[in-house]
Amino acid sequence: MLVTTIDKTGSNQGFDLYFGGSMTMAGVTVQQSFKWDKRRIDFLNMDSWGRAELKKPGFYTADGRKLFEVRGTDGGVVTSTLLYLVSSWNLFTSNPQENAYIDNLAIPAGYA
């Protein structure tokens, strides 16, 4: 039988095992997501990331029209109208060497 005791009342509060509101790793706050892959850790410097806007958000137009009718199965117009909002952008990092990841980490039994 293995018993582990952790005393959190001492003066050394730098030892963080996620007992409270925020988890830290080497003094850096960890941001979690319910969609995260538990076998991977990403190290991102968000100050080096940006967004390139290729097309500003706006209505899609074709032949000067912004509203489009909907056709039924018989080819006739039904009582619906469509409009489309379009935008184009991409993410980039100005310094890829500032970002890293660790992949294929082992997940201990019981931590699915």
Interval 37-77: pLDDT, tens:
888 888 888 899 999 999 999 999 999 999 999 998 998 99
Q: Is residue 63 part of a domain?
A: yes
- Distance of CA 13 to CAs 16, 44, 68, Å? 7, 25, 62
CA distance 109 to 37: 16
Structural domain harbouring 85: 24-102
Average pLDDT over residues 15-40: 71
Q: What is the pLDDT of residue 31?
A: 79
- State which of 9-23, 28-42, 81-95 shows the largest mean pLDDT: 81-95
pLDDT band at residue 106, thresholds of 50, 70 and 90? confident
What's the mean pLDDT in 82-106?
A: 93
Q: Report how far apart, in Å, the C-alpha atoms of 105 and of each of 2, 33, 44, 85 are.
A: 24, 17, 18, 41
Helix (H, G, I), strand (E, B) or coil at 109: coil
Number of structural domains found in the chain: 1
Establish if 5 belongs to a structural domain.
Answer: no
The reported pLDDT for the residue numbered 109 is 80
Q: Which residue has the higher pLDDT, 19 or 7?
A: 7
Q: Report if residue 2 sits inside a domain.
A: no
